Amino acid sequence: MKLLKLINLIFFIGLSNETPLDDYVNTPDPHFKYDLINSYELPGYKLYILNMTSQKWQDENIVERPIWWHYITVSVPDKISRQDASFMWIGGSANRDTIPKPTDGDVQLVSNFSLITGTISAVVQQIPNQPYIFNNDPDRIPRTEDSIIAWTWKLFIQNTSNPTILLRFPMTKAVVRAMDTVEDFALKNFNFKIKKFMNAGKSKRGWTTWTTAAVDYKRVFAAAPIVMDLANLNSNFHNHFKSLGGWTFEFYDYYMQGILNSIDTRELFEMEKLIDPLSYFDRYKNTQILVMNAANDEFFLPDDTYAYWDSLVAATDGTVLNRRFDNVGHSLDGKQNQILETLSGLFVSTYENRLKPRLRWSRPNNSTHGILRAFIDSNNILPFEFKCFYAYTLKDGRRDFRRAEADPDNPSKEILHPVKWIPTKENIKVSQDSHSTIYEIAFERPEKYYLGFYLEFSFKGVNGMNNIVNTEVSIIPETFPSDDCSRTTCNGKVV
């Protein structure tokens, strides 16, 4: 008995059991195929546009159009530095959009990436393959983005016996099939044997980055989920309610579908087991994860990380990295170049197994001050620059750092909420102990409103690119402006 248990432990240590998400993704679908539909010869690289059918999701009784297809744009640079790795950018857009062109934003991102790194790079679009009309939807609305996700969450919460109804399932499968497609295309056309991928995407595509890295952990060697860190969902829902006294206007679809009444229910916990990144952290042991967030995100809060960061550090042996972009909302508008630099730096340094920044921190607040203390090990590279960003919230009653808020007179509209993050190098104390260089900043607890602050470190990376990493955001005072909720008292209002 004991021996059997031990053997089981040895086999299963570090890997959660197969979940219905693994089963769904790994089940072959006879609809899977791809065709080359266009190509371009451009200075330094070629683009190949593929039309890939990933799967049939549900059937005609549930959805009007169950076949999922996707444009995949593959960028092949003339000068290839490595043939066995690739980058997959997870893109959105709708299934009625035109065939991708070299000037499209996502196509430019992967083209630039392939030129900088000398690797085949691709963007897969129509994740999800929207818009969608559900047959049991009395309004028969063509749904997109959060409206579809909220609808499928509602269907799952009503009847948890069919997990594949969750949109995360086909979204994840489509990206895994996109990797299969690029692998096959590169082998047949160039005789390159791609064995590993780095994945990245924003928002819903960021969540799909987490789940793809989980189900395909052997192939995904690096993953950068961007503006999507609501891991530990139920716990973070509480954080949102206590911080905002309601729900950000960006959660409108979830609010309207009554999803927020399900907080603390068995159904929500069932859903977490299937699609919450936290449920899959033990799959990321050998994957370089870089979590990128916006300091003024309208969906998410700066301290959402408190609910999962330590677990992620433990699961990845401390290799996980954190990047926060100041003074920008969920769209990350204007940060395209920095995202490109961060992604290409991550790819090359991980592929080449170069020394990466290793940053730890703690928040040893005392009775008068909020304190943030960051540690960089002595045997690591040191930053050539460091600074702090801090910001005050704007009004009573909310711990709210968003770029925009709901118009109180018309909650379906948003108005600007200009929280400003200010950079400073003053008052950062640098010291040494036998193991590390220590950077410490302290702020007095404000008498009014909330104060957020975090540290930023810039390291010299490969090919002249910089690696910038951040600590979590500290928020003082540590109190919350609103009472917590449970189940139906969570419905609240939109703010």
Ligand X SMILES: *[C@@H]1O[C@H](CO)[C@@H](O)[C@H](O)[C@H]1NC(C)=O
- Chain contacts with ligand X (rule: CB under 6 A): 37, 51, 53, 67, 69, 99, 108-109, 112, 159, 161-162, 336-337, 340, 363, 365-369, 371, 442, 478
- Residues 6 or more apart whose CB falls under 8 angstroms from that of 297 comprise 227, 329, 330, 402, 403
CB of 8 to ligand X, least distance (A): 31
Neighbours of 115 (CB within 10 A): 19
Contact 353, 257 (CB under 8 A): no
- Per the CB < 8 A criterion, the answer to whether 320 and 311 are in contact is no
Minimum CB distance to ligand X, residue 125 (Å): 11
Nearer to ligand X, 83 or 108 (CB): 108
Q: Which is nearer to ligand X, 105 or 138 (CB)?
A: 105
CA dihedral 60→274→21→183, nearest 10 degrees, is 110
Strands, E, within 278-320: which ranges?
288-294
> Which residues on adjacent β-strands are paired with residue 69?
53
Distance CA 391, CA 385 (A): 20
Comparison of 129 and 209: residue with beta carbon closer to ligand X:
129
Distance CA(71)–CA(89), nearest Å, equals 12
Smaller CB separation from ligand X, 250 or 303:
303
Distance from C-alpha of 406 to C-alpha of 409, rounded to nearest angstrom? 8
Least separation in angstroms between residue 427's CB and ligand X is: 9
- Least Cβ distance, residue 365 to ligand X (angstroms): 3
CB of 9 to ligand X, least distance (A): 34
Q: Judged by CB, which is closer to ligand X: 95, or 380?
A: 95
Torsion-angle region of residue 376: left (phi > 0), alpha (psi -120 to 50) or beta?
beta
> How near is the Cβ of 440 to ligand X at its closest, in Å?
7
Let me know if 110 is exposed, middle or buried by CB neighbors in 10 A (0-12, 13-18, 19+).
buried
CA 245 – CA 296 distance, rounded (Å): 18
Cis peptide before 411 (omega within 30 of 0): no
Query: Of all residues in this chain, which one has the CB nearest to ligand X in the complex?
Result: 365
Q: How far is the CB of 476 from ligand X (least distance, A)?
A: 7
Q: How far is the CB of 142 from ligand X (least distance, A)?
A: 17
> Measured from the CB of residue 36, what is the shortest distance to ligand X in angstroms?
10
Q: 305 to each of 97, 294, 308, 313, how far by Cα in Å?
A: 35, 12, 6, 11
Nearer to ligand X, 28 or 43 (CB): 43
Nearer Cβ to ligand X, position 159 or 353? 159
Q: How many CB atoms lie within 10 A of CB 155?
A: 18
CB of 17 or CB of 337, closer to ligand X: 337
Q: What are the φ and ψ backbone dihedral angles of 135, each rounded to 5 degrees?
A: -70, -25
Q: DSSP readout, 444-474?
A: EPPSSS-EEEEEEEEEE-GGG-EEEEEPPPE
Q: Which is nearer to ligand X, 159 or 432 (CB)?
A: 159
- The distance of closest approach from Cβ of residue 379 to ligand X in the complex, given in angstroms and rounded to an integer, is 27
Q: How near is the Cβ of 302 to ligand X at its closest, in Å?
A: 12
CB 415 within 8 A of CB 468: no
Which of residues 51 and 466 has its CB atom nearest to ligand X in the complex? 51
**Residue 105 tokens, joined:** 């934003």
- Residue placing its CB nearer to ligand X in the complex, 427 or 488: 427
